[in-house]
Chain A
Amino acid sequence: MNRGGYLVRRLASALATVAAAAVINFVLFRAAPGDAATQYQMCRTCSAEFRDYLRAELGLDRPLLEQFWLYVSALLRGDLGHSFQTRRPVWDELAGPLANTLPMVGLGLAFGLALGLVIGVVAAWRRGTAADWAPLSASMFLSVLPIQWIGLMLLLLFGGMLPTGGISDPYLRFSDPSWWQVLGDRLEHLALPSLAIGLAWCGSWALIARSALVGALGEDYILTARAKGLTSWRIVRRYALPNSLLPITTLIFLTFGYIVAGSLLVETVFSYPGIGLALYQAVQNRDYAVLQGGFLLLTAAIVVANLLADLLYLKLDPRIRT
């Protein structure tokens, strides 16, 4: 398999996935009972004429095929439409929340990974001992708890020390802060939501890491490595870990998409203005345009995460590289 071919195929399948999601998005929203004009919250009591006017403005009175064409050509121009609620472009409505969510999820991922990998690697290395099952069961226990509950416990524990909501200190800008202060403030606000994500996910990652490592430890080359006189820790580090990074990476990137899509619960607990909260509000407002755009963005986020995993594969697996 050659490298260029691999990349082209991955890229093509990523694009195809996004395209399919866009079509499904279009179909789903049209297949739902009623349309934007009947469901429009502010329109509950308005007249039939006003509904027709709205439909015309939203383009809902045109034939489906034409609507589809308009939708696709707008998408291709990068136009996600306008929010029913605020009249601003959907992209402007969502870009900010998405930019808030990504660092939070990124930090949560880094935190959960660090914890999960350490627990998983030690468990595989010392399998069958207390160092195997004790930290593993503790992390598994955390991961079966609802993430909002973990969030609430963190609020109780750290309430006095760290900010418990929002994304930055609204008063900070009056004190003419340095660049470092702004960054520190952002990190403080990120800390608890990220910690909640990390704690909620580290158990699954520990389990993934452990089982991938234990699988690799059963391979023939491990016996050879032992016969060569390597210590068990060195075998884990030099043989089992590099060989199990492939399954670990895939699963982690897959969960990345999940976390972004599921960020709503954490964002609600910490009143964090991210994509989850924005979509929640869009549901409340029956803001179809924002919902449609949001779903597409989330799909794109998951597809991009998978694409990154594929790129990492190139780096990790010599069998693809050549």
Chain B
Amino acid sequence: MSAPLLEVRDLHVWFDLPQGRVHALRGLDVTVGAGEGLGLVGESGCGKTTAILAMMGLLPPSATVAGQVLLNGENILAKGEASVRRHRWTDLAMVFQGAMNAFSPVATVGAQIAEPMRLHRVAEGKQATARVRELLELVGIHPDKASRYPHEFSGGMRQRAAIAMALACEPKVLLADEPTTALDVIVQAQVLDLLDRLRTELGLAVVLVTHDLPVVGRVCGRAAVMYAGRVAENADIGDLHLRPGHPYSRALFSGGAIPGAPPRLDEEWPGCAFAPRCEHARDRCHTEAPRLVPLGARQSSACHLAASIAGGTA
């Protein structure tokens, strides 16, 4: 595995709401290296979007964040808004959930792609224009379309243009939050192929958030399975399919329905978050929270019974 370019350590996020405090991220740990693809998978509401936004310091004021987001060893969240802003788009860029609306309707697509280049002094004037054309070509859009407005683009084109925009300042990490959910199957395949190509050709680290498991394998070698604001299991995609080390990943990747519902995040509990839904749960699972421990060189699981689950004996 290449050295971690981006490392998230013990990330916690609380949202303060009038009804109370929601503990949305509860000690998230993930790493991703240059040229790697990491899938972030899990049921809706498990904190995937929150994790992505926290990594860029983009959570709303109602959120409290604790923990570290290390980029080449430097904690980018340590010094507040002004310092994290320097890393936005130059180091970490993102394609959002609903990136179809990532463009302001009243400015041309080209101008909006070029804007961060000027802002971060990556390119200016003619150079920026040329780079916009290059980027559009890279994502399979005719360069002359740079002078068009977003409403003149189809949904899939807008999504690809949003990816082109994310590449404007040659970021090291691309965070993509469900970039294909709103697209039809053919366009979805195009976008995923594009992400995979960018990862291999540009050495981009890609963090791909999705609840659609087949999507993960097309871009990512590894995935972190998230449950209730934490990583339940972290492993190669193949292992997640063949020898998952956590009952939740096993249920998720076998495709069957999981009975019950995820826990409410405005409550705290002593044991494993999955225990109430887990057929293997013992007494210990209800009283002691399992930590994420290695299960092999490339696999780790937060389950007291990880070894027997992975070995198929439980």
Chain A residues near B (Cβ < 8 Å) = 128, 219-221, 223-231, 238-239, 242-243, 316-319, 322
CA distance in complex: A318, B165 (Å): 20
> Is residue B149 contacting chain A, with contact meaning CB distance below 8 A?
yes
15 contacts between A and B (CB under 8 A): A220-B101, A221-B101, A221-B104, A224-B96, A224-B165, A226-B58, A228-B88, A229-B86, A229-B89, A229-B120, A230-B116, A242-B107, A317-B105, A319-B105, A322-B152
CB contact under 8 A between A219 and B101, given known A227-B56, A227-B88, A228-B116 = yes
> Is residue B106 contacting chain A, with contact meaning CB distance below 8 A?
yes
> In the bound complex, do residue A220 and residue B96 qualify as a contact, i.e. CB atoms below 8 Å apart?
yes
Q: Which residues of B contact A317 (CB under 8 A)?
A: 105-106
Q: What are the interface flags for B101-127 relative to A under an 8 Å C-beta threshold, 1 for contact and 0 otherwise?
A: 111111100000001100110000000
> In the bound complex, do residue A231 and residue B85 qualify as a contact, i.e. CB atoms below 8 Å apart?
yes
> Is residue B176 contacting chain A, with contact meaning CB distance below 8 A?
no
> Is residue B151 contacting chain A, with contact meaning CB distance below 8 A?
yes
> In the bound complex, do residue B151 and residue A319 qualify as a contact, i.e. CB atoms below 8 Å apart?
yes
> In the bound complex, do residue A242 and residue B89 qualify as a contact, i.e. CB atoms below 8 Å apart?
no
Q: Which residues of B contact A319 (CB under 8 A)?
A: 105, 149, 151
> In the bound complex, do residue B94 and residue A227 qualify as a contact, i.e. CB atoms below 8 Å apart?
yes
> In the bound complex, do residue A230 and residue B106 qualify as a contact, i.e. CB atoms below 8 Å apart?
no
For A222, the closest partner residue in chain B by CB is B104
> Is residue B98 contacting chain A, with contact meaning CB distance below 8 A?
yes
CB contact under 8 A between A242 and B106, given known A220-B101, A228-B89, A322-B152 = yes
| B82 CB → nearest A CB, Å | 9
CA distance in complex: A221, B104 (Å): 6
> In the bound complex, do residue A224 and residue B102 qualify as a contact, i.e. CB atoms below 8 Å apart?
yes
> In the bound complex, do residue A223 and residue B116 qualify as a contact, i.e. CB atoms below 8 Å apart?
no
Q: Which residues of B contact A220 (CB under 8 A)?
A: 96, 98-99, 101-102
Within 8 A of A (CB), among B65-103: 85-86, 88-90, 93-94, 96, 98-99, 101-103
Report the number of A-B residue pairs with Cβ-Cβ less than 8 Å: 71
Interface size class of B (residues with CB under 8 A): 20 to 34
> In the bound complex, do residue A318 and residue B96 qualify as a contact, i.e. CB atoms below 8 Å apart?
no
Q: Which residues of A contact B56 (CB under 8 A)?
A: 227
Q: Which residues of B contact A322 (CB under 8 A)?
A: 149, 152
8 Å CB contact of A243 from B89, B99, B104, B120? B104
Interface centre among B61, B102, B116, B149 (most CB of A within 10 A): B102
Using A238-B115, A318-B105, A318-B149 as known contacts, list a sample of 11 further A-B pairs with CB atoms less than 8 Å apart, ordered by residue number in A.
A219-B101, A220-B98, A223-B58, A224-B102, A227-B58, A227-B93, A227-B94, A229-B86, A229-B120, A238-B107, A243-B106
For B113, the closest partner residue in chain A by CB is A228
> In the bound complex, do residue B106 and residue A229 qualify as a contact, i.e. CB atoms below 8 Å apart?
no
8 Å CB contact of B119 from A226, A229, A242, A318? A229
| B269 CB → nearest A CB, Å | 32
For B162, the closest partner residue in chain A by CB is A224
Q: Which residues of B contact A242 (CB under 8 A)?
A: 104, 106-107
Q: Which residues of B contact A221 (CB under 8 A)?
A: 101-105
> In the bound complex, do residue B89 and residue A227 qualify as a contact, i.e. CB atoms below 8 Å apart?
yes
CA distance in complex: A93, B141 (Å): 63
CA distance in complex: A225, B58 (Å): 11
Q: Which residues of A contact B86 (CB under 8 A)?
A: 229
CA distance in complex: A220, B96 (Å): 8
Q: 7 tightest CB-CB pairs across the interface, nearest first? A: A220-B101, A229-B88, A318-B149, A228-B116, A224-B102, A221-B104, A242-B106
Interface centre among A223, A224, A243, A317 (most CB of B within 10 A): A224
CA distance in complex: A242, B107 (Å): 9
CA distance in complex: A225, B89 (Å): 10
For B111, the closest partner residue in chain A by CB is A238
> In the bound complex, do residue A318 and residue B98 qualify as a contact, i.e. CB atoms below 8 Å apart?
no
Q: Which residues of B contact A231 (CB under 8 A)?
A: 85
| B7 CB → nearest A CB, Å | 20
| B31 CB → nearest A CB, Å | 21
| B96 CB → nearest A CB, Å | 6
CA distance in complex: A319, B150 (Å): 9
CA distance in complex: A111, B89 (Å): 40
| B286 CB → nearest A CB, Å | 39
Within 8 A of A (CB), among B123-169: 149, 151-152, 162, 165
> In the bound complex, do residue A229 and residue B116 qualify as a contact, i.e. CB atoms below 8 Å apart?
yes
CA distance in complex: A243, B103 (Å): 11
8 Å CB contact of A316 from B85, B88, B89, B106? B106
| B119 CB → nearest A CB, Å | 6
| A136 CB → nearest B CB, Å | 19
| A139 CB → nearest B CB, Å | 25
> In the bound complex, do residue B85 and residue A229 qualify as a contact, i.e. CB atoms below 8 Å apart?
yes
Q: Which residues of B contact A128 (CB under 8 A)?
A: 61
Q: Which residues of B contact A219 (CB under 8 A)?
A: 101, 104
CB contact under 8 A between A318 and B104, given known A223-B96, A227-B94, A228-B89 = no
CA distance in complex: A121, B88 (Å): 25
Q: Which residues of B contact A224 (CB under 8 A)?
A: 94, 96, 99, 102-103, 162, 165
Q: Which residues of B contact A230 (CB under 8 A)?
A: 115-116, 119
Q: Which residues of A contact B99 (CB under 8 A)?
A: 220, 224
Q: Which residues of B contact A239 (CB under 8 A)?
A: 104
| B222 CB → nearest A CB, Å | 24
| A213 CB → nearest B CB, Å | 13
Q: Which residues of A contact B90 (CB under 8 A)?
A: 229
For A234, the closest partner residue in chain B by CB is B119
| A237 CB → nearest B CB, Å | 12
CA distance in complex: A105, B84 (Å): 48
For B90, the closest partner residue in chain A by CB is A229
